[in-house]
Structure 1
Amino acid sequence: MSANYEGVLLGMGNPLLDISSVVDEAFLNKYDVKLNNAILAEDKHKPMYDELASNYNVEYIAGGATQNSIRVAQWMLQIPGATSYMGCIGKDKFGEEMKKKSTAGGVNVHYYEVDEPTGTCAVCVVGGERSLIANLSAANCYKSEHLKRPENWALVEKAKFIYIAGFFLTVSVDSILLVAEHAVAKNKVFAMNLSAPFICEFFRDAQEKTLPYCDYVFGNETEAKIFSKVRGWETESIEEIALKISALPKASGTHKRVTVITQGADPTVVAEDGKVTTFPVILLPKEKLIDTNGAGDSLWEDFCLNWSKRRA
């Protein structure tokens, strides 16, 4: 069984060292950060990272949306080398820490290393809810030349299921298209995530280029509403939006597109082939909720893990 699973899941994205801490609303207000949002760091956010490290009890985690998903999938599979991941890190201590944590978990990482600081992400937790402020740095430097190297392209050829979070649209659309076109040509499953409202709003052109290749599209209700708004669909109905996303033009007819939209504690909406199914969420007692960081990443990982088992 292990041989069948070798390299079955491939992820590409923005590897970020998460700096996670419980903070208060005053901290969020100080840096003009909204709860339950994900943004790219601006100059006004830069002092945040040092303040977190100096004044708060922080935890460092090898993160970034896609890397989170791949690491959890690897943990669930418990088969070394079943998952692979590519992204760009710096030649620094944070980069070494990233490599150490990812490889210790069994992920086959092929990082592109550059002379820029490793990317970081402030994970600010208030009342179990999180806000993400990403400073991409080295993660923003990924090039398709790295992907085309034989030892790296071999990971693409071996994979049966490829997942890329929408955040990578800000970095290397050409890399996404290379693997997406390969997935269509080889009848593999290709999935993406809407990832954040700002991706849907400000990176629409890049998103439009990659959506035709998507067999699966994941997102939450906030992202879905922005997706609808920028396209002039004039609806905030999650079910209707999910249906419309599923019906968008597709590069291959082999797999009908499935759209999965989460709504927090409300039912998850799944649209496929002109039909909508809703799935109730099993409520978690608040006292058992630590924080929501990585929740969406883990949902995708569980979904694709079941698919990989069926296809391996």
Structure 2
Amino acid sequence: MKKIVKFSLVFLLFAVVFAAYTIFFRPHYNGGGVTIFIPKGVGIGRISQTLYQADAIQNPNVFRIAAKLSGYETKLQAGKFVLPPTLNNLQLLRFLNSSRQIEEKVTIPEGSTARQIAGILSRKANVDSTKFIELVFDSSFTAEVKVPANNLEGYLYPETYQMYWDIPPREAALILVRQFFKELPQNAQEKAENLGYSLHEIITLASIIEGEAILPTEHATIAGVYHNRLKKRIRLQADPTIQYIIPDGPRRLLNKDLRIDSPYNTYKYYGLPPGPIKNPGKEAIIAALNPANVPYLYFVAKGDGSHVFSTTLKQHNRAKREFDKIRRHVARQKKAANGG
């Protein structure tokens, strides 16, 4: 009888040890570098199936038992993870509880609009673009982050960021706005006032400069032209402001586009538009605050990224005719290349 009891206890102990090993400690080799994504709000059943389909665990039911017995059932983090090559269930549960998510490289080019940024964030970090845009144009959120405007257009700083996959829209917006204020020159407010403008007006002007300037060496000169036109109360006639209001831009502008009735149409209305049309980089902001002391009132593209600057309308029209010749020449070359 004692031998039977002893044998039963040994067998029970062995069964417990084997069960514990199977549930918690049996390693599983997944090949290494397996990437998984756990959405917010999903339960352990969905997580188990995701891991099983990625060949990260041997048995989803056993993994669920391990999560329940270890207390990790409701503690696993959402996000994107790259799993180490060999983990047992307990190690995997601890790993997914540690928030060691991978970060995505997200590059926002200078001169991007808020809607373009929303698209980039959606593609690169799985940000909900609709909710992001809602935040951008939420005046209460704009006031909360101390932006001197009624929306965040112009204040979403273009830079390369490291962001977690599925980062909340609010957190993404905060990162971009905080970077804007970090990069803003310390004396920007004072310089703006000395020039006779508010900071918001300077950022608006910087966004137009960003839309016009291709060569960094021309930022300050273009800024000087616009400052001169504003002082003389000459309409800015800035093409980027029209690109902002047409629904199918950017494209070559037509005469009818210049007649669109919008406060952003600087061909129709004097002064600056109501707000930024793009999100400018630091160089454009510095240029808006430090315009070159030049006599120019006009400029036109040369076709190579640079511009011809003029002091009189006669000079400007001559430069425009030269550019039109280049444009027609390029069009003929394209037509010939296409067999036209």
Structure-1-length-normalised TM-score: 0.23
- Structure with the bigger percentage of strand: 1
Structure-2-length-normalised TM-score: 0.22
- Higher relative CO (CA 8 A, sep ≥ 6), structure 1 or 2? 1
